[in-house]
Amino acid sequence: MSADFPSDSSALIYININGLDQLESLYVIGQVYGQNIIEYRPYSNVEKLLSKRVLTTSVYNKIKDLVIVY
């Protein structure tokens, strides 16, 4: 899978509402991280993925511009 991502907002993944399949479409998110994201919902902002210890800093830094809360 390529590390190049579309920059338009329609490609953003909504971490509070998208399902596991959509979360796993992010190249560094597998089933475990995807389930963790779902389990710790809701998020008031994307940074909560770090403060709730859902993702590691390195994974968060790779996806932070590809996800949105609402």
Question: For 14-69, how does the pLDDT look when each residue is reduced to its tens digit (9 = 90+)?
Answer: 999 999 999 999 999 999 999 999 999 999 999 999 999 999 999 999 999 999 99
In whole angstroms, what is the distance from residue 38 CA to residue 16 CA? 7
What is the model's pTM?
0.82
In whole angstroms, what is the distance from residue 3 CA to residue 43 CA? 25
In order, the DSSP letters of the chain are --S----SGGG-EETTT--HHHHHTSTT--HHHHHHHHHT---SSTTHHHHTTSS-HHHHHHHTTTEE--
- Domain residues of the chain, as ranges? 10-54
Start-to-end CA span in the chain (Å): 26
